[in-house]
Amino acid sequence: MTAARVLWLNCRMTIRAPKDFWSGIMFIAFAATAMLAARGYSLGSAGKMGPGYFPMALGGTLGLIGAILVVRSLFAPGEPVGRIHVLPLSIIATGVALFGIMLEPLGLVVALIVVMLVAAFAGRDSRPLEAVALAVALAAFSVGIFVVALRLPLPIWPSFL
């Protein structure tokens, strides 16, 4: 066997931790998206940040985390990627879309409660009473944080009330 063949066989990389590998690829894709979106904005400096500074910094950080995960997946053993459950993912994506559609006309409280109740259908173990209690608590917490503390101009209740 030639030295080049031995070197090739020893250097061939196999993915030993598929979950880490695909997580790293996802982080790198998010980083590339953030950095591409911010490429037209001025960066500024650390003392006087421009509109592109944070997306670039976030993109660089996500890219670094993704690269670490990909490299780690080649050396450390890990779990294989399990079966993808499309129905729960679709239900959660529907809930997020409903939040975006309902926030302006129905207000933060109603939109969050509906989203939480829709997302509760994604899990097999969710119970109706627990889902309602969590939805009400999340709505109250969100109003307290985003509307009262941060003073964001979000409608709290439906506009027709």
Residues 21-80 have pLDDT tens digits of 999 999 999 999 999 999 989 888 878 888 889 999 999 999 999 999 999 999 988 888
Per-residue pLDDT band for 91 (boundaries 50, 70, 90) equals very high
pLDDT of residue 2: 66
* Under 8 Å between Cβ of 157 and 103: no
pLDDT of residue 73: 92
Q: What average pLDDT does the chain have?
A: 89
- pLDDT tens-digit readout, 128-146: 999 999 999 999 999 999 9
pLDDT of residue 113: 96
pLDDT of residue 3: 60
DSSP 119-148: HHTT-SS--HHHHHHHHHHHHHHHIIIIII
pLDDT of residue 46: 79
Backbone angles phi, psi at 2, to 5 degrees: -75, 160
pLDDT of residue 161: 66
For the whole model, what pTM was predicted?
0.63
Taking 3-state DSSP, the helix, strand and coil percentages for the chain, each rounded to the nearest 5, stand at 70, 0, 30
pLDDT of residue 10: 52
Residue 117 has pLDDT above 60, yes or no: yes
